[in-house]
Structure 1
Amino acid sequence: MFVLDSIGFVNTGLPLIVLGVLAVLLPRLVVDGDTRSHGKVAAGIGVCAVILFAVGYAVSYVLTHTRGVHAMALGSSPELGSALWVHSRLSLMAAIVWAPILGLVWFGQAQGVEARRGQDLVARGR
């Protein structure tokens, strides 16, 4: 296995903080704040997860490239598929941080949907 560098603030802490902040803020931009549909919330959270995976992939690529290693030549062989797998794996490892945060944001969004549905029922007089 390829070891990039030891754990430090610039190559580990800062990217995880950025991904965590994005996991909190991104759903506010993607999911409609007035929706009454759990399906739309779930779809928005799914889009956010894909975006966060892509950002994690990009961060892995950039950090590897700035260390002087050609980012697409990593792995056991110089094939493109191997490099894609290495960066995908590193991006999925970062999901250990942002996935629980995104799950909590999803829970909060779902509570908002239920609150709006309840307000609608009260407004109709039921």
Structure 2
Amino acid sequence: MFVIDSIGFFNTAVPLGVLALLAVLLPRVLVDRETRSHGKVLHGIALSAAFLVAIGFLISIAVTQMRGFEAVGHFEIDPLGAAWVHLRLSLMAAIVWAPILGLVWFGHAQGVEARRGQDIAAGGR
């Protein structure tokens, strides 16, 4: 296993910023804005989380490659070990984007309840 020894703007702030921005934007694309179903909201949020893990995985590979470690070559030597390293790093980045995604989920859930309330007030169920 390798160690990324320093925290910097391009190897930490930019990747985390990209993931945080995607945590806000992906649910806007993946969740129907007019849904009255919490299940559909949950599905869109879960899909967003899966995309964020996958994108974090790719960002991890790019950052380690940029830092001088032969990340792509590591997959040829030890594919499972390399996948585990980058998956772990991707999941560690969730400490930044998961709370943001949770707040976005809360916002979408409030929208569902508001639309349900409007339907009830309009006389339909």
Which secondary structure state, in structure 2, belongs to the residue aligned with residue 124 of structure 1? coil
Structure 1: gaps (5+ residues):
none
- Counterparts of 1:15-26 in structure 2, within 5 Å, are 15-26=15-26
Which secondary structure state, in structure 1, belongs to the residue aligned with residue 122 of structure 2? helix
Query: Match for 2:20: what amino acid?
Result: G
Which secondary structure state, in structure 2, belongs to the residue aligned with residue 39 of structure 1? helix
Query: Match for 2:113: what amino acid?
Result: E
1:88–1:125 CA distance, 2 compared to 1 (3 A): closer
TM-score using structure 2 length: 0.93
Which 10-residue stretch deviates more, 45-54 or 61-70? 61-70
Counterpart residue number, 1:108: 107
Which 10-residue stretch deviates more, 31-40 or 57-66? 57-66
TM-score using structure 1 length: 0.92
Query: Match for 1:86: what amino acid?
Result: V
Cα distance, 1:72 vs structure 2: 4.0
Cα distance, 1:70 vs structure 2: 1.4
Paired with 1:125 and 1:38, the residues of 2 have a C-alpha distance of 19
1:4–1:74 CA distance, 2 compared to 1 (3 A): farther
Q: Is the 8 A contact 1:26 1:48 kept in 2?
A: yes
Percentage identity across paired residues of the two chains: 64
Counterpart residue number, 1:71: 71
Paired with 1:125 and 1:10, the residues of 2 have a C-alpha distance of 53
Residues 74-101 of structure 1 show CA distances to partners (whole Å, capped at 9, x for unaligned) of 59xx411000000000000000000010
Query: Match for 2:66: what amino acid?
Result: T
- Counterparts of 1:4-83 in structure 2, within 5 Å, are 4-74=4-74, 78-83=77-82
1:68–1:109 CA distance, 2 compared to 1 (3 A): same
Cα distance, 1:5 vs structure 2: 3.4
Cα distance, 1:3 vs structure 2: 1.1
Paired with 2:2 and 2:62, the residues of 1 have a C-alpha distance of 16
Residues 42-70 of structure 1 show CA distances to partners (whole Å, capped at 9, x for unaligned) of 00000000000011000000111122211
Cα distance, 1:113 vs structure 2: 0.1
Aligned residues: 124
Cα-Cα RMSD = 1.7
